[in-house]
A and B are shown apart, each in its own frame.
Chain A
Amino acid sequence: MATFRIKRYNPEKRPDAYYEDFEYDFPEGATLLDCLNHIKWTQDGSLTYRMSCRSAICGSCGMKGNGHALLACQRQAAQLLKSGDQVITVEPLGNMPVIKDLVTDFKEFWEKVDQVKPYLQNKEKAPEQERQQSPEEFRKIDATSTCIMCGACYSDCNTLEVDKNFLGPAALAKAQRFVGDSRDHATRERIKELSKPGGMWDCTHCGECVERCPKPAEPFYRIKELMEVALNEGVTHNNGARHALSFVKSVKHSGRLNESKIPIESVGYFNIKGLLELVPVGLRMLLKLKIPPIFHKPIDDAKDVKRIFEEFGE
């Protein structure tokens, strides 16, 4: 017998959210969605959640199981009990307002997807037939094309938890779908837009979106692809891009990171306000002798590392 500890919320009846336990001895192979259906049909018809395809295609049943976003139809309930505990906690997706029980409001999610202009921008006259791509060209956008907009990545994104301005993993992955599209003509404009605050450089590399994505879309890796395009297109007037360039330069020359230089080069040598902001932490670390050595010592055989950088055109 398993206990499903479900987070309930119905503002028409009670102002606060609360947890309610349901017992169900689920059969082998039952998904979390099968269990919720059983509870709804036999125990409490008012339990509210979204569902449709039961095949991890429609993206409707995104919710949290034991604190992490998932598709209820894609996860077997038994897998959620693997820690030996007999309780499965079920909650609505995070980073979104809750409407009722496990149903969340996707308004901001969709607004952010719209913000990246998720449609092909091609300046040429429409051809008589379709615009074709080679298999190699398609491969660049294949991963993101699998996104089903379930909101799992958005739910568990660590940046979104502290900054609602962040576009979020799903919208950025969608942006890569068009930045990487050989038929799209707006690459530079898109990259400039995506380099602004709230864009790609605000991703904190936590990997939650890769972990929660139920498809091969894996947004963080798509965000890295956007960064690669930005750096190679020369859209570098921002701290994120300057940070990456400084990092590459430092490791190329000494085999290791020059920690004294990277903060300065990231904010930019002429950014007085930004440089001043570094002073307190710099002084504090200096007083504790935590400042890296002034003479940056290279690794042994740094020449070989430099040679490899040059082989790859850096």
Chain B
Amino acid sequence: MKFALFTGCVAKGATRELMMATIKSAEGLGIDFVEMKSAACCGAGVISEKNPVLTDAINARTFALAEEQNLDLVTICSTCQGNLKKSEFQLDSDAEYKDKINHVLNPGGHQYRGGKIKIKHFSNILATPEGKELLRQKIKRPLTGLKTAAFYGCYVLRPSELSEYEDPDNPKELEELFEILGATPIYYPSRIKCCGFPIIMMNKEASHEMAGNALIEAVESGADCVVTGCPLCHLSLDSYQPEIENLREKQYSIPILHLPQLVALALGYSPEEIGMDKHIVSTAGLDKILAQHA
């Protein structure tokens, strides 16, 4: 399997451990990721607040880059995934609009043709029958005894017509992956809700309350950790967990993992190799749980 890897900004910055774990997961699974080093930010739903057409143009350029490599595009961020899919929809549903955008891309030597490549989140390629089979074959250390609570990230689920998940109102893909990895999935209502990150600069308290609701539900449902496919959710749930604890006057101390970290752990990589020491909330307790069941 070979894909064009759209890293997104955060995996190259504030959650570099996500990038480390993605590289290791791909290595362990034998997936060939070709990093799209000249692809621009997806806009994160923020550039479109100022200029929606510009957002579609920079994303059309990204799609053109993947088309030039003749590779399907893989994202490792729910926000990137959702925003790229939105632009793809806009471009593919209006030929005149696509022509207008291509006219702007032309001096840079790129043209978006459309219909040639697919845009998938890392979890989507793992959740295919081939992906699941590959995981089953490559697991070296089943995550037996680990209770994992999925946190999907809004943008991969809504709007549902652009989602790559089977039933975005009741998704099961991450939980199915957890089971294949040997972990025990924990279901809780907030797993498909917002983490609050988009308003962390605008309405901090509301943002932390949203994240806090997810954390408390996961803890009370018996989860050992929360696993997310979105680095922005990770920032909200992990980096800001002390603020949330202060606001709620409660101690959660629940580790938050990136999906590729969970995969890489099951593939036998050490926590250090996949940046688990870079988290704000310590992940040391997870090692103990895994050691107990080893």
- Interface residues of A, Cβ cutoff 8 Å to B: 66-68, 82-83, 158-159, 161-163, 166, 197, 201-208, 210-211, 224, 227-228, 231-232, 238-240, 243-245, 247-248, 251, 255-257, 259, 262-263, 266-267, 277, 280-281, 284-285, 288-293, 299-302, 304-305, 307-309, 311-314
Contact = CB atoms under 8 A, between A and B. Distances in A.
14 contacts: A158-B194, A163-B206, A201-B199, A206-B154, A224-B45, A227-B49, A238-B202, A247-B47, A259-B14, A280-B242, A281-B240, A281-B242, A290-B16, A302-B40
A285 B14 contact: yes
Nearest to B105: A308
B223 interface: no
Given A207-B157, A257-B13, A305-B40, 6 more contacts: A163-B209, A224-B49, A243-B202, A245-B50, A248-B47, A251-B47
Contacts of A240: 199, 201-202
A284 B280 contact: yes
A289 B277 CA distance: 10
B40 A211 contact: no
Contacts of B157: 207
A247 B207 contact: no
A307 B108 contact: yes
A229 B280 CA distance: 38
Most chain A CB within 10 A, of B154, B157, B277, is at B154
Interface stretch (B52-60, B177-185, B257-265): B52-60
Contacts of A207: 82, 154-155, 157-159
Given A162-B209, A163-B203, A207-B159, A243 B46 contact: yes
B80 to A, nearest CB: 11
A290 B15 contact: yes
A305 B213 contact: no
Chain B at the A interface: SS class: helix
Given A68-B169, A207-B154, A228 B51 contact: yes
A305 B38 CA distance: 9
B213 A162 contact: yes
Contacts of A239: 201-202
Given A204-B196, A205-B154, A255-B40, A293 B13 contact: yes
Given A162-B213, A288-B279, A281 B239 contact: yes
A217 to B, nearest CB: 13
A266 B201 CA distance: 7
Contacts of A227: 49-50
Give chain B's interface residue range (CB within 8 Å of chain A). 35 or more
Nearest to B54: A312
Contacts of B10: 257, 259
A314 B51 contact: yes
Most chain A CB within 10 A, of B12, B50, B51, B204, is at B50
Contact of A299 (B16, B37, B207, B280): B37
B266 interface: no
A285 B238 CA distance: 10
Contacts of B61: 304-305, 308
Given A228-B50, A256-B9, A290-B15, A163 B108 contact: no
B250 interface: no
B193 interface: yes
A162 B158 contact: no
A247 B48 CA distance: 10
A162 B159 contact: no
Given A239-B202, A255-B40, A290-B278, A210 B240 contact: no
A176 to B, nearest CB: 13
A195 to B, nearest CB: 10
B243 interface: yes
B13 A259 contact: yes
A292 B13 contact: yes
Interface in B154-191: 154-155, 157-160, 167, 169-170, 189
A66 B10 CA distance: 35
A66 B57 contact: no
Contacts of A68: 169
Contact of A314 (B50, B160, B189): B50
A288 B280 contact: yes
A161 B213 CA distance: 10
Given A67-B189, A251-B43, A308-B104, A163 B205 contact: yes
B143 to A, nearest CB: 24
